[in-house]
A = this chain, B = another copy of it.
């Protein structure tokens, strides 16, 4: 029986992950707890805990239940972390600090036998330009957003707490997850999903950047697969490099739109309206465009191979649901 805790379990990825864990026999019997500020109606049916991840006492309570695997997905998204500076650092960095220290307390109390797997959703926002054509595994992390800086700081803590043996951690620098179901969120990347999702639902979508923008994507389904793969991986194979660039699809917005045309025709494409937004353009301009994620590929992480495929996943998993 594996005791699993998902922080941010009420969010879109958290729910996909919870569903994957309950529907597939990955862990050979699980006791699953989801933690979040709120949960969706009709969400995954399992034990849930409501609370604020930035509360140090809450971190202690969560660690005291000694989960075998902790998925840390809880975050203030990039756009909000940019406008609410203090909140972003508090939730995106200090909460990790509290959590790791709470786990260390349990580790010490157990005389070192408690050492959970911690899987953290980092982001390609840890990178900042100027970039090479393809970012390889040894390229520097020089974030240009608070969100990226917070994620990168968490990666450092996870690696060091792991090196010391208090946890067995891994940070996944997720591509921009696309096509997100449901409503747009405050992430600066939200439109990448919007321009596909809204037209497929017969709704107008706003494109706030030029269609020449190139970016790096994977589907929510793949994100959930990345997370369970990371939870079951032999971390000795990481050789101490515990923050991974993951595979994904590199394409331009124009190529995304072309894939939409393939899937749903010109009528769908006509629902995309260009309305440039300087704030979003500036944030997105600092984001990576393409990767050569050699280490993750060698470790067996697999993403889609085209944006057409990413759209098909959305249609299958979410549009029809």
Residues of chain A whose beta carbon lies under 8 Å from any beta carbon of chain B: 85, 128, 132, 137-144, 146, 149, 152-153, 156-157, 159-160, 163-164, 240-241, 243
Contact = CB atoms under 8 A, between A and B. Distances in A.
A141 B149 CA distance: 13
Contacts of A139: 138-140
Contact of A142 (B142, B144, B153, B241): B241
Given A128-B240, A240-B128, A143 B164 contact: no
Given A138-B140, A139-B140, A140-B141, A152 B146 contact: no
A143 B160 contact: yes
A137 B140 CA distance: 8
Nearest to A136: B140
Given A139-B138, A240-B128, A149 B144 contact: no
Contact of A164 (B128, B146, B160, B241): B146
Contacts of A152: 156
Q: Which of A142, A149, A159, A240 has the most CB of B within 10 A?
A: A142
B163 A157 contact: no
Given A141-B140, A241-B142, A156 B164 contact: no
28 contacts: A85-B164, A128-B240, A132-B138, A137-B140, A138-B139, A138-B140, A139-B139, A139-B140, A140-B140, A142-B159, A142-B241, A142-B243, A143-B156, A143-B159, A143-B160, A144-B163, A144-B240, A146-B160, A146-B163, A146-B164, A149-B156, A149-B157, A149-B160, A152-B156, A153-B153, A153-B156, A153-B157, A156-B156
Given A132-B138, A149-B160, 16 more contacts: A137-B140, A139-B140, A140-B140, A142-B240, A143-B159, A144-B163, A144-B240, A146-B163, A146-B164, A149-B156, A149-B157, A149-B159, A152-B156, A153-B153, A153-B157, A156-B156
